[in-house]
Structure 1
Amino acid sequence: MLSFSKGAVVALVLMACAHSAAAARPAPTTLYDVISQLPEVSKVFAKVEQFGLAKQFQNPKLGITAFVPNNDAYDRISKAINNNPSILDNSAIITQALAYHILNKPLTTEDMPRGVKSYLTALPNQPVAVQFNDKANLFKVGAYNVVERNIQAGRSVIHVIDGFLVAPSLMPTLVKALRESKAAAAEAAPAAAAAPAVAAAVKKP
């Protein structure tokens, strides 16, 4: 007859409870589910939420490759554009920027040939170069490294990257937005500088 110590019985009960809880928790089945659970890409996920893109990524039949910039990459691109709200809060610009990070079919590293290959992205006529060499532990998209690879998300695949890809077609739009923002700031500066003097003059009897 088998016998167990009290401590062993408690351990078995705890293991059974943990297994039951894990079984009760549904596994992520969509791209949206998985990205929402990756804290390292929470800033890009916030943009997905902000611009109402969630529905597209909640489709369980969606099969794409998503190169998702991590939070450090998002911070660097934000700093580069001076946290410009005319860009960061522009739905059209951000939607196009994110589309450039998506390939229209799911690809793990097992599906990628060694060397450099150009892939069409979800942004029309804007391909991106992917460089892969398993022996050299090299995996880059554009100029940036893939820091987490082959994250399964339903029928899709996520690769986390350490930079924010900028499509060539978006560059004129970004430059124009930055110039307009700087011009607006320059026009506002004299008025802001004069405001205290105007306020003081108004207060005089």
Structure 2
Amino acid sequence: MTTMLIRRRVPAVLAAAALAVSLGALAPQASADDGDGPFGPACASVPKEGAGSFDGMAQDPVATAASNNPALSTLVAAVQQAGLVDTLNDAKDITVFAPTNDAFAKIPKADLDKVLADKATLTKILTYHVVGEPVQKADLADGSFKTLEGGTLTTSGSGDAYEVNDTAAIVCGNVKTSNATVYIIDTVLMPQ
């Protein structure tokens, strides 16, 4: 009797296992689109290995990680000029909206030089790009965040297309460093 019962259950168990495996193959797989990894068109230009890669940046605090990304060299110079390297590197669980070199190039050179020479104004602008808490991709759809400068910035969008303050596009987002989440943007944000 026991042998007959086992013979009946084995095919049922195998059928259930086969069904589970086939359903698993049909289930959506985790990807960067799920919010876990970097997203955006500029992410394709990030090196695959080394200090400037996503894995390399995850090992360093945010100002150091940014210094390893050639597209952020103007931002890094501005952060150094304002004396904010240690402030950013020592912060915990922050979010940085990091303008690219091309974003800074949109500002007329005379205006940019004037801001770079004025430490108080430069600090105000740079700290407006920093939120004192982690911002996840899911938070970007309709977000409002207080910045270290004291102002508020807003985000909107869906999928892999998000904007900050309706003026700056996120070109590579959800980049992790050892102490921050970075969203690389194509326009410098100006506080009110």
The residue that corresponds to 1:130 in the other structure is 155
Question: Quick one: distance in 2 between partners of 1:163 and 1:26?
Answer: 22
The residue that corresponds to 1:189 in the other structure is none
Q: 1:40 aligns with which of 71, 87, 100?
A: 71
TM-score, scaled relative to structure 2:
0.65
Q: Secondary structure at the match of 2:125?
A: helix
Please, which runs of 5 or more residues in structure 2 have no aligned partner?
1-55
Distance 1:84 1:35, change over 3 A: closer
The residue that corresponds to 2:130 in the other structure is 102
Question: Quick one: distance in 1 between partners of 2:57 and 2:157?
Answer: 33
Equivalent pair of 2:127/2:149 in contact (CA under 8 Å): yes
Superposed CA offset, 1:143-200 (max 9, x none): 11000111101131011000010111xxxxxxxxxxxxxxxxxxxxxxxxxxxxxxxx
The residue that corresponds to 1:163 in the other structure is 187
Structure number with greater Rg is 1
Count of aligned pairs between the two proteins: 137
Equivalent pair of 1:29/1:154 in contact (CA under 8 Å): yes
Please, which runs of 5 or more residues in structure 1 have no aligned partner?
1-24, 169-205
Of 25-34 and 35-44, more deviation after overlay is shown by: 25-34
Question: Quick one: distance in 1 between partners of 2:140 and 2:78?
Answer: 32
Tell me the CA shift for residue 117 of structure 1: 2.3
Q: Secondary structure at the match of 1:119?
A: strand
Moved over 4 A (4+): none
TM-score, scaled relative to structure 1:
0.61
Equivalent pair of 2:66/2:76 in contact (CA under 8 Å): yes
Distance 1:82 1:157, change over 3 A: same
Equivalent pairs: percent with the same residue?
24
Question: Quick one: distance in 2 between partners of 1:26 and 1:68?
Answer: 14
Q: Secondary structure at the match of 1:131?
A: strand
Distance 1:84 1:121, change over 3 A: closer
Q: Secondary structure at the match of 2:110?
A: coil
Equivalent pair of 1:88/1:94 in contact (CA under 8 Å): yes
Distance 1:27 1:92, change over 3 A: same
Equivalent pair of 2:97/2:182 in contact (CA under 8 Å): yes
Equivalent pair of 1:51/1:91 in contact (CA under 8 Å): yes
Tell me the CA shift for residue 26 of structure 1: 9.9
Q: Secondary structure at the match of 1:58?
A: helix
Query: Match for 2:81: what amino acid?
Result: Q
**Whose relative contact order is higher, 1 or 2, with alpha carbons under 8 Å and at least 6 apart?**
2
* Aligned-pair Cα RMSD in Å: 2.2
